[in-house]
Structure 1
């Protein structure tokens, strides 16, 4: 199939042909998994045990990676800072706030949801597998990203693949409350969240222009220049991945996302929607302009007709329905109704709920116009309270993070002191000068430990004064998921210790310093 062959009529024929055998299948019988016939290098050149591999027509396959997002409930999402601070791109990319969430529930970890993103850009071989024609043998260009596509063709490809998966490999698809997931283009927020490293990197790293590249950018990105792409599109999976195990997120082929392009208006997107949004830069992008915030407008037509680009392709996301069941609708409705109540309880007493007060006023008036204005005011108050509640939750998590780091610092202090004490015991009287030096260092270390212990207890005192126990427990669990994603799971024990000490302080009104220090294990 040539780059300029219209895909929509072909996909329509494919779907019509696939529908007939599907009608004859037994509805209750699960789909039989399709084992890929392709060589693994064609669909997963850099395999990892955490990969999700889904089959495709023609014996092919596509590989996905999990993108985790901490969440306490169905309406919980994560606020992220997208965009960047470069003045020359501010009209398009100025820093702005957005939100991401996962649709699949993690059965193995509390307070964690996730979506999937294609590990690699969709390749020519994968695209051709859904062309509706005869299955082609892999050629030299099979692993090159599929470019010269329109946004509509990328969307149609996702729709055709989603349909094929449900009919041929439903038991391989992740599900939410029994409803199968489906593939689509990622939203811009999903794409950029994943490109930056998601929760696998710290917040200070997340906002950097690009994810960490300790071996140099030429090992992670295909960019303009003879030391990198050399003005050529390259096969997927040849370089190193980002912190989430995703390849070629920056450079190589620019990638369509689901959202239309909009300009930036200071800290938000402008109201006018234009063409399609392309993310990530490509093999013609100078290294100085490689950045996670990069976004360009792709106008779908010009004076010659339909536009295509030799440097623009796409990758797929695997998502879950927001409302997979009627039971979920009830859960969401209840959670939505509780949003302002839960927030109001955090900032007002039980007899001083501003939302209830406004509703009472609304019910008391008869003038329709005034009733509407009071209703609008109620919505504004609810939104303000919810924003305050989210800020409070983030502050609690940050304070718990400090407490965990302090507990770890106390453990390090104890280890250092114990080592020097053993050195003192091992030295003979002939080494008096050396012993005196170690003794002075020990005195300084013990003073530092005592100061850090006081700081730790002060932090726990502040936690108890500012945040209710339920909020602390929920944020502690969310922080654990973040640490696990960043390979810092060793700190989770210190989070538990911090929460346990806070509970004891809340119950007893004080913490015994020697006992508290004794419960902190030295590494």
Structure 2
């Protein structure tokens, strides 16, 4: 079967046949037959290859908890980037694979673009979806290798998404707040009908709909919920509270479909499909797929060495009980290192294995502690930034009222009685706003002192960049600038242990209002 699909007789597709709703940040990759497929970046604000981002997936209130119970998971990107923010990303297809795209890759002759071919490709088996990605990868490597993103000199490849990749993107990734991320669906300010094709006459009316007609999720991805449910890369497993069951079953479909009742549409929706029905591969009229583009984990010997170095450092840091300047500069040996030293030269092999097992358990425990602490620090940074916002608003409000009072009521005793009454009212407002400012300043100061009693500079510094990128991903005004301001105050306090409220108030008020 030809991989070039008679390109010579095909004309380039109009954008309406592969990207009906163009958006800034779209990544367009070529297909055979002069076609295209559009992807969106899913950004993770971590840069090192062994770093991953902890999230909670699933649903706390799921009726079928053995399918969807909330559980911890971890996500990481494939491709390193410095723009617009440092981190790593993977690519998720903006739309479900359409009939037009499927035919352009799988057929010997090129299809003629038409709107009826803009329906998601359904009624194919999981094996055919895998075959599609294989043929596409081979074609890209033979004809458009430079269109693939590169990590450490190695070109990426397309495949079905994993459950974590899919659900993280479906929920909105870091483009939504932590609270919005945990909701049953991504934010839908215009109502579900504007974002999801679900079952019923008020929506899909029991029919598959053209790709991209409705509004996208916060990452710019269309039809993540509804229309066709989507096949995942890995096999299905039952949920066992905080982990998955050991038996791997059929394949997974996610996202619900055009037959799903509105009340059942949710990001945690997942079901198992068998690979075969009777004597043939399983094909469902409600099931389609979309692709991700990712990279191998071990791209070079240099990258392997970098990962090995990072792995050897996992869980080896000591948890400093007192983050004073003296303890931060201490070079005391950690418990993990002391265990390693005890093992050196030890001839009793049984005891050596026991110590090695103990060291591994300790490292694992320390690593869990470090990850939980990172989450707590990011939360503290966000709270500090919001309190700096409060100081900015209260401080500016108080300054404006005070200036008005000083200018218009400087000689209140010489004013007419009605003006004296007005000045008296302004003075009460000034006093009220001053009290509000002092309360906000007290809360802000408490947050710095309390954080300084728990964390060290070395603990907080790497989390500042992560939190700032999270806020920038949400396009949350200029909260990143408030994070920087709060961190500058906390960092100075960690050095000299001085509470400088006047300076802190002044700095927060100077952050530009956006």
TM-score (norm 1): 0.90
- 1:291 counterpart residue number: 266
What is the aligned partner in structure 2 of residue 417 from structure 1? 398
How big is each residue's C-alpha offset from its partner over 1:105-125, in whole Å with a ceiling of 9 and x where there is no partner? 112255411111000000000
One of 374, 390, 400 as aligned partner of 2:381: 400
Deviations 1:446-491 (A, max 9, x none): 1111121122122122223322213322111111110111111511
What is residue 138 of structure 1 aligned with on the other side? 113
Please state whether the residue corresponding to 1:221 is helix, strand or coil. Answer: coil
**Which of 260, 278, 300 in structure 2 is aligned with 1:303?**
278
Q: 3-state DSSP class of the match of 2:63?
A: helix
- Distance of 1:366 and 1:292 partners within structure 2: 55
CA contact (8 A) 1:339 1:386 kept: yes
**Quick one: which of 452, 462, 471 aligns to 2:440?**
452
Match of 2:125 among 150, 159, 162: 150
Report what 2:422 is aligned to.
Answer: 434
In structure 2, do the counterparts of structure 1 residues 316 and 499 end up closer, same or farther at CA, with 3 Å as the change threshold? same
Residue of structure 1 in register with 2:256 after alignment = 281
For normalisation by structure 2, the TM-score amounts to 0.91
- Contact 1:73/1:111 (8 A) holds in 2: no
Would the aligned equivalents of 2:17 and 2:115 in 1 still touch at CA under 8 Å?
Answer: no
State which of 121, 125, 146 in structure 1 corresponds to 2:96.
121
Aligned counterpart in structure 1 of residue 318 of structure 2, from 325, 344, 347: 344
**Displacement of 1:406:** 0.9
Q: For 2:321 and 2:303, locate their aligned partners in 1 and report how far apart those are by CA, in whole Å.
A: 29
8 Å CA contact retained: 2:62, 2:68: no
2:450 maps to which residue? 462
Alignment check: 8 A CA contact 2:374 2:463 kept:
yes
What pairs with 1:75-474 in structure 2 (closer than 5 Å)?
75-108=50-83, 111-341=86-316, 343-344=317-318, 346=320, 350-351=331-332, 353-363=334-344, 365-424=346-405, 425-426=407-408, 429=416, 430-474=418-462
2-side partners of 1:40 and 1:72: how far apart? 34
Partners of 2:90 and 2:294 within 8 A in 1: yes
Which moved further from structure 2: 287-296 or 131-140? 131-140
| SS of the residue 1:259 aligns to | strand
TM-aligned CA deviation for residue 145 of structure 1: 0.4
Q: Deviations over 1:147-178 (max 9, x none)?
A: 01111111121121122112211222211122
CA distance in 2, matches of 1:116, 1:36: 26
**Residues 171 and 48 from structure 1, CA distance in 2 versus in 1: closer, same or farther, beyond 3 angstroms?**
same
- Structure 1 residues 36, 66: closer, same or farther in 2, change over 3 A? farther
CA distance in 1 between partners of 2:315 and 2:402 (Å): 56
1:438 is paired with a residue of what secondary structure? helix
Partners of 2:32 and 2:56 lie apart in 1 by 39
What is the aligned counterpart of 1:495 among 480, 483, 489?
483
Distance 1:519 1:359 in 2: 47
Shift in Å at residue 133 of structure 1? 1.1
Deviations 1:201-257 (A, max 9, x none): 111111111011110100000000111000000011100010111000000000001
RMSD between aligned residues: 2.1
How many aligned positions are there? 493
Displacement of 1:371 in angstroms is 3.6
SS for the counterpart of 1:520 is: helix
How far did residue 61 of structure 1 move? 0.2
SS at match of 1:58: coil
String of CA shifts for 1:365-389, please: whole Å, max 9, x gaps.
5454544343333222111110001
> Cα gap change, 1:347/1:64 in structure 2, threshold over 3 Å: closer, same or farther?
farther
Unaligned runs of 5+ in 2: 323-329, 410-414
Provide closer, same or farther for how the CA distance between residues 304 and 388 of structure 1 changes in structure 2, counting only shifts above 3 A.
same
Higher mean displacement: 90-99 or 374-383: 374-383
Query: Quick check: 62-71 or 153-162, which moved more?
Result: 153-162
Q: Give the deviation of 1:511 after TM superposition.
A: 3.2
Q: 1:517 aligns with which of 502, 505, 510?
A: 505
